[in-house]
């Protein structure tokens, strides 16, 4: 019996050893699975974080585009309104110039000549429409050119080599440039 006992002990030891190896293999497999699960979880968290960042970046970009579009629309509306106001104002000025009576036109010419101290050596070239409106120029005390500027109102004053343009459409254009520059300056300080 002692052999049997020895054999039985030997079999028990082999079975225990196999059981321990099996338990170790199962434990090792569990650890591998746990590492893979952990790695996969980290990978998913990282992918989620990246996707979240992408969505936030896209949302911010879309917000900026929408905000910029609104700012541009606001600026364009402001420019359109301003342009309409300028055009209305300048059309009113043009109408006022056209409606000047001969006396008012003459007074305008005299006031310009008073601004130039050396106007005695000056010459005026009238626009055709102004010359037709005013019949006599004797009291102006300035040389009147026989030449006229076709289809224009106002005049050009020449003193020496310098020409001063007082044609009404030129004065209106100058007003337009001044107003536009004033508005552009104001808009740039508003932003």
Answer whether residue 190 shows pLDDT above 70: no
Going 135 to 139 to 140 to 143, the CA torsion angle's sign is positive
pLDDT in tens, 93-113: 778 877 888 888 888 888 888
Q: Quick one: tokens of 7?
A: 């054999």
Q: Quick one: tokens of 30?
A: 């569990």
Q: Return the pLDDT at 3.
A: 65
pLDDT in tens, 79-92: 888 788 888 887 88
Global pTM reads 0.56
Between the alpha carbon of residue 70 and those of residues 65, 84, 186, the distances in Å are 9, 21, 20
- Of 188, 189, 191, 187, which Cα lies nearest the Cα of 78? 187
Which class for 164: exposed (0-12), middle (13-18), buried (19 or more C-beta within 10 A)? middle
Residue pair 173/87 in contact by the 8 Å Cβ criterion: no
Residue 33, beta-bridge partner list: none
Residue 163, beta-bridge partner list: 158
């Amino acid at each position: 019996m002692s052999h049997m006992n020895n054999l039985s002990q030997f079999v028990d030891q082999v079975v225990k050893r196999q059981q321990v190896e099996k338990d170790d293999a199962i434990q090792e497999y569990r650890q591998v699975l746990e590492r893979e699960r952990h790695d996969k979880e980290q990978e998913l968290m990282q992918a989620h974080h990246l996707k979240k960042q992408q969505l936030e970046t896209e949302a911010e970009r879309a917000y900026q585009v929408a905000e910029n579009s609104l700012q541009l629309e606001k600026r364009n509306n402001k420019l359109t309104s301003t342009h309409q106001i300028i055009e209305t104002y300048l059309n009113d000025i043009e109408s006022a110039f056209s409606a000047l009576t001969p006396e008012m036109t003459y007074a305008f010419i005299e006031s310009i000549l008073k601004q130039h101290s050396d106007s005695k050596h000056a010459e005026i070239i009238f626009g055709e429409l102004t010359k037709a409106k005013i019949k006599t120029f004797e009291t102006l005390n300035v040389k009147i050119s026989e030449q006229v500027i076709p289809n224009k109102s106002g005049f050009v004053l020449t003193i020496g080599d310098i020409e001063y343009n007082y044609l009404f459409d030129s004065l209106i254009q100058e007003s337009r440039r001044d107003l536009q520059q004033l508005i552009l300056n104001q808009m740039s300080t508003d932003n």
